[in-house]
A = this chain, B = another copy of it.
Amino acid sequence: MAILVVGSVAFDALETPSGRRDRCLGGAATYFSLAASYFTPVRVIGVVGEDFGPDEEAVFARRKIDTRGIEHVTGKSFFWKGSYMKNLNEAQTLQTDLNVFQSFSPKIPHEYEDSEYLFLANIDPVLQEDVRRKMPKAKLVCGDTMNYWIKDHAENLARVLKLLDVLLINDTEVKMLAKDNNLVVAAGKVLDMGPKALVVKHGEYGATAFFCDRSFPNDAVTVPFRAPAMPLAEVVDPTGAGDSFAGGFFGYVASQPALTPAVFRRAMFYGSVMGSFAVERFGTERLEQLAPNEIEERFALFRQLSHLE
């Protein structure tokens, strides 16, 4: 079934120990869409400027991603410049130009209204809430957020958390949101804020899912689940790893007839798989052209990496 994602479509300038790029296609919605597109049809809502041309359009088109919800307006696209020279696990922001993204007001094309799966990428929680309320048919809603919204927009974010089935954020964000330094305690506090499940991304150490007691995805699950990350000899560019994880995770969920505990677990692995591909090249390069057998082979490798038998 189709996923609708709302979030940023951007250009990034990047420097990492492996090299530098002045202009890569980026943005959370872009990484998410590409990763999810290997599992299910994807529809995007975002906004771009005049610098978003046929080359960028083609990246989405080749993966059959529906871009009718990407609004084109006068001005420049969201631009972000980041460096990983000091720390591959944490980007240092050198420049952020919101440009056309500053006045982003998501509009839902009529053709998108029947989307049953909704991903609210990291944007203003006011916009996240607005989109969720305009999509009453969405039966499963996942979302992301970041330190900026947690710190300075807590009330708005609190309303969004009550509307989410699954929240996907990283260790630091969970602890900041819960105001607690123990991951398990913090996860419990975040689940009390609304989401039925919480997926905590640990970067090179994988990700852990925590479930609330209110029987989601079904009565059987209360134990957390940990998916490993792939030990990689070179991380070329960590940008978009988290959004690619979310795309693999939610894309796989949306491709299945029902969200069982087994599907949730496999989705965690597919999230890690897509994250591991994303960081192998600069920008979206690797995610743009994966062969289906590459995905299944890496999934098998993740199983070998973590399973006793």
Q: Hey, what's the 0/1 contact readout for A191-209 against B, CB within 8 Å counting as 1?
A: 0000000000010111010
Q: In the complex, which of the residues B183, B187, B225 contacts A305, with contact meaning CB atoms closer than 8 Å?
A: B225
Partner of A231, one of B181, B224, B265: B224
Query: Which residues of A172-219 are within 8 A (CB) of B?
Result: 181-185, 187-188, 202, 204-206, 208, 210
Mask for A78-91, Cβ within 8 A of B = 1, else 0? 00000000001000
Beta-carbon contact of B301 and A223 below 8 Å:
yes
The number of chain A residues touching the other chain, given as a range, is: 35 or more
How many Å lie between the Cα of A269 and that of B306 in the bound state?
10
B306 touches A226 (CB 8 A): yes
A308 touches B303 (CB 8 A): yes
A306: B residues at CB distance < 8 A: 225-226, 228, 306-307
CB of B305 within 8 A of CB of A224, answer: yes
Question: Which residues of chain B come closer than 8 Å to A265, judged between CB atoms?
Answer: 308
Q: Which residues of chain A have a CB within 8 Å of any CB of chain B?
A: 88, 181-185, 187-188, 202, 204-206, 208, 210, 223-226, 228, 231-235, 262, 265-266, 269, 301, 303-309
